[in-house]
Amino acid sequence: MHISKKSCTFAAYFLFLLIDMKHTKLLMVLATVAMMLTAMSCGHKKDAKVLVLYYSQTSNTEQVAQTIASRLNADIEAIVPVNPYDGDFRATIERCMQEREQGILPEIQPIAANIDAYDVIFLGYPVWFGTYAPPVAAWLNEVDLSGKTIVPFCTFGSGGLDSSTRDLEAKQPNATILLGYGVRAARLAAMPKEVDQFLKAHGFLDGEYTILPDFPEQHAVSEEESAIFDAAVDGYPMLHAKATLVASRAIPDGTEYLFNAVDLPREGAPDLPSREMQVYVTVLDGESPVFTQVVR
């Protein structure tokens, strides 16, 4: 299903006609609610002053930030640690673990942008330890975003958009936190098209976008569906799981699956507790299955 700005305008006009034709309190209430939902879905944010603020260690998040800023013609700035995380993956993990154990956050350079001048802040980060990276946490400790609209976006190995958004909501309870955008680092090639759809769906850009149908009720996985899951997660060392339930829906040029899965025992750690998770898998026409995110 596609929705455009013209269809939003027509929907609002049709509701006004209904109110004019049927002078009942019930219809007025229903129409008012529908108009509010229409405004929320269509969006009226293009006149807002927008800042894209991000931290990026390996340039992945920077690519997303630059794409968003370019599409919106928005101001853009990076969060820069005084002592950069410039080591390899293992060195970064070890430093983060030490900082977490000591309860400290990295010092960051002052932000040049006047945050008070912006209505909307797109806040970008890589997901580390299930949440936004420490330089973003350090910045959030310095600011009060009350009254601002915050749009999180992130890059990750397997997931973390949901958990990091929850942490952001807890840290800035008086800000409006919108549903964000996340992408696996392994899928950055798909990012520009997805960002375009995301911005249109949130009302930041005009144009048509696709509304996906809800997933139907899940059912036990078949052998074929299990093979799709296994192919999607094959080769990713942090995801060793077995699919149990699945539902699927049609998407442009393919099919998306929502799997429920459980951890399998790991070699060398047989007593590690098994956790449940949801794994989203996309199979585009003529392409191999790929998982897009994991929600634990």
Q: What is the pLDDT of residues 229-256, one digit of tens each?
A: 999 999 998 888 999 999 999 999 999 9
Joined together, the tokens standing for residue 168 give 């952001």
Higher pLDDT: 257 or 44? It is: 257
Q: How far apart are CA 192 and CA 161, in angstroms?
A: 18
pLDDT tens string 84-99: 998 788 899 999 999 9
Mean pLDDT of 10-29: 37
Residue 107 main-chain phi, psi, to 5 deg: -75, 140
**What would the CATH number be for the domain defined by 50-210?**
3.40.50.360
Distance from C-alpha of 206 to C-alpha of 114, rounded to nearest angstrom? 27
Instruction: State yes or no: pLDDT of 9 exceeds 70.
Output: no
Q: What is the pLDDT of residue 89?
A: 86
121: its two tokens = 């802040």
pTM greater than the 0.75 cutoff: yes
| Residues 146, 174 contacting (CB under 8 angstroms) | yes
- Answer with the residue of higher pLDDT: 63 or 42: 63
